Amino acid sequence: MIRISIDAMGGDHGPGVVVPALAQVAVRRPDIRFIVYGREEAVRPELAKFPALQEKSEFFHCDVAVKMDDKPSQALRHGRWKSSMWKAIEAVKAETADACVSAGNTGALMAMSKFCLRTMASIDRPAIAAIWPTLRGESVVLDVGATIGADAQQLIDFAILGTGMARSVFGIERPTVGLLNVGVEEIKGQEEVKEAGRMLREADMASMTYHGFVEGDDIGKGTVDVVVTEGFSGNIALKTAEGTARQIAGYLRAAMGRTLMARIGYLFARSAFNTLREKMDVSRANGGVFLGLNGIVVKSHGGADSEGFAAAVELAYDMARNRLFDRIEADLDLFHARNPQSQLTRKPAVADDGEDR
């Protein structure tokens, strides 16, 4: 049995989307159980529509719901201890849940997750990992925006975290790992990236195959299973890819509507276009995963429909079922046992008050 705690108030649509998603997942993953947090008057009527789901769910009322536009500091001030978002995270800390899912706002969810769960003992900073559709399938890309900048040791932490995720989500025994870098010859990359590359090559870890540097266009090609970068460039890569996909969808719509022949062609090829649209929709690869905390937290896209939220819940289920957290802990222990000096290169830890830079 896998138990998932749910913030039912998150996202643009709240319980009206979240609860039907849980009902779908309950059919597809029979051994799942839910602990649902939210406002009674909003969630109860939705739950009442799905008797089979109700049997697999516990519901707890929370007075406070974190708003989608709350700043992290506001969310912490008003929502700590009592909001549905906080309670869902806290269930993971209390080990009444194996993982937590929320479609609430990313900044608030990260601030609360850090405050409540704290980072793992040998990890400085959490990362947000995205599942990125590629020509070869899917890859894990991290960090896509938890923090800005990373030293070599933090990049290695991200590599270990992402490797654990690729192993438990894709079922790859020894994922390939690349460090995102620029390929222009005369500039030789950031010092941290180069140092991380040297360290990864020397560490020669059993859990991963270190591939070397990759460039921006390698992400979509699926050159490696895990792409590691710091949060600024990772966020810009993710948003740029989303923007490019939308841009091309716009061109496609315009091109297909322009002439009668093209419109006829569109009618013939409609189902092919629908397949294409699904593949192009980067946000379908839903669920940013917060890694490096003492527990698994999955962030669903705020605008996700029930199918999208269900995908995020299933991702949380798969990671819990495949013992992602234990794998990561074991890999970190192994790395630090073999490379005792690696901690020495680390910068002093920053106080983790949820008000991160």
3-state DSSP assignment of residue 128: strand
Does residue 215 interact with its own copies by CB under 8 A?
yes
What minimum distance in Å lies between the beta carbon of 52 and its own copies? 36
What minimum distance in Å lies between the beta carbon of 234 and its own copies? 9
Find the binder of its own copies among 195, 242, 318, 352 (CB under 8 A).
242
CA atoms within 13 Å, Cβ hemisphere of 328: 32
Q: How many residues bind its own copies (CB under 8 A)?
A: 75
Supply φ then ψ for residue 147, to 5 degrees: -140, 165
Site string for its own copies, 280-309 (x = CB under 8 A): x-----------------------------
Tokens of 126: 């959490």
Q: Considering beta carbons, is residue 206 or 350 the nearer one to its own copies?
A: 350
Tokens of 32: 């799942």
**Which residues, numbered 145-164, are part of the site for its own copies (CB under 8 A)?**
145-149
Site string for its own copies, 170-209 (x = CB under 8 A): ----------x-xxxxxxxxx-------------------
Interface with its own copies by CB under 8 A: which range of 19-27, 199-207, 273-281, 339-347?
273-281
Q: Considering beta carbons, is residue 58 or 195 the nearer one to its own copies?
A: 195
Find the binder of its own copies among 31, 49, 52, 71 (CB under 8 A).
71
Q: Helical H runs in 62-151?
A: 72-79, 84-93, 106-117
Interface with its own copies by CB under 8 A: which range of 57-65, 159-167, 237-245, 345-353?
237-245
Does residue 272 interact with its own copies by CB under 8 A?
yes
What minimum distance in Å lies between the beta carbon of 39 and its own copies? 23
8 A C-beta contact, residue 59 and residue 341: no
Q: Cis (ω within 30 of 0) for the bond into 143?
A: yes
Find the binder of its own copies among 27, 121, 255, 350 (CB under 8 A).
255
Tokens of 139: 């890859």
Find the binder of its own copies among 52, 121, 206, 264 (CB under 8 A).
264
Strands across the sheet with 99-102, in order?
57-61, 32-38, 2-7, 99-102, 297-299, 288-291, 127-133, 138-142, 226-228, 176-180, 209-214
What minimum distance in Å lies between the beta carbon of 44 and its own copies? 31
**Which residues, numbered 94-133, are part of the site for its own copies (CB under 8 A)?**
105-108, 110-111
Supply φ then ψ for residue 229, to 5 degrees: -160, 170
Write the DSSP symbol of residue 300.
-
| CA angle in degrees (0–180, nearest 5) for 12-16-21 | 100
Does residue 350 interact with its own copies by CB under 8 A?
no
Find the binder of its own copies among 52, 121, 262, 349 (CB under 8 A).
262
CB environment 79-116: b (16+ within 10 A), e (fewer): bbeebbbbbbbbbbbeeebbbbbbbbbbbbbbbbbbbb
Give 275's strand partners: none
Find the binder of its own copies among 28, 82, 259, 333 (CB under 8 A).
259
Alpha-carbon distance of 346 to 195, in angstroms, equals 12
Tokens of 251: 């061109």
What minimum distance in Å lies between the beta carbon of 86 and its own copies? 15
